[in-house]
Structure 1
Amino acid sequence: MLPEIGQYLLVLALLLATALTVLPMIGYATNNQTLMQTARPLSHVLFVTVMASFVILVMLFVQQDFSVKYVAQNSSLELPLRYRITAAWGAHEGSILMWVTVQALWISAVAKFSQSLSLNQIARVLSVLGFIALGFVAFVLFASNPFETIFPVPLDGHDLNPLLPAFGMIIHAPLLYFGYVGLSVALALSVAALIRGAINEQWIRWSRRWNYI
């Protein structure tokens, strides 16, 4: 049941990312306040949805659900709990889902801490970020799905890559992704400014703050 829920949440995330990409930008193009106002709530709901999907993946590892192909390939009955948790991002499918989760967190953070920006400004920024998230969510769903199931269910998994059970693995990927994915905010700010074709002093100050982060 959990793999199916995780899959459905990813489908919902794809729809939310599509809406975040399209609706605020249409609102900006047509000066429709209602459509532009959808940007912030869509950003927060997208984060909750993707985060829930990632938590489910971690739960599948904790429960050692070997009916999930990704779990069976990267865990085993003898793997300690701490490494079962971190094994969720120990290979390609899970690490990409973590990337999307961090991306959604950054989007939600921008939506939360952007009160000084005008509605049409934040609508453009969040729309660009939604487009980036859309690409990654689509990639997870159609090319790197961590919730794919297998049958018959193996009695034990293949175990985690022997190079990965180390403390550094627990913190390395999350810290690395927070930095890499955070650069998408700088990209979105630049693209949003190019769409408008105008950059003022307030925009520069606000952009500098996020670039420092």
Structure 2
Amino acid sequence: MTEQTYNMPRIGDQAPDFETTTTTGKLKFSEFNKDSWVIFFSHPADFTPVCTTEMSGFAVEQESFFEANNCKLLGLSIDSIHSHIAWVDNVRRNTGVYFKFPIIADIDMSVSKLWGMLQPGESETAAVRAVFFVDPTGRIRLIMYYPLSVGRNMDEIKRVLLALQTVDEHKIALPLNWQPGEKVIVPPPKTLDALDERLASDYEMVDFYLAKKSI
């Protein structure tokens, strides 16, 4: 029996476009993504415990963090729109947390297959916990995958968004465990003159190829 394979978008790819139905109405990804970062994430199923904690985590941070940093949220699972709406209402009534961001009803699995969210070794009928960071130009900048049984780390998702935005703004790189406000890595010199400038600078120097500065 031949194993079925699906598209696997890669870092640097243009985000695959699609039109779909969500809990907030019809959505075309390229229009939703225009002029904004998007974190597009999948979950295995509605009315499941790990997914409820994750979606609640995104919902709690939606306005105060994500929207404040020019980032929209977009969820997906292979469930019907009626299941999504019932789940959103159930969580709101039981916990007071309201999933205001759109959740795609991918009952035919078309978007899951297009974005590589279905991984047959884990499940052929439920999307894994994928997270795609898409910049305002529509390019995929970072991808995370988690299995069905392990919830995501919201602190890391927030850190990564700020890290990508910091890299774009300052044209630098970031070291292990970087947190906002910490020093960043300056790109290595590409000429001898640039090396001399580096050696005469006030950068924190480990060596000429590894220098840090504050921004």
Give the TM-score taking structure 1 as reference length.
0.25
- By relative contact order (CA 8 Å, sep 6+), the higher-ranking structure is 1
**Which is richer in helix?**
1
Say which structure is richer in strand.
Answer: 2
Structure 2 length as normaliser, TM-score?
A: 0.25
Which is greater in Rg?
Answer: 2
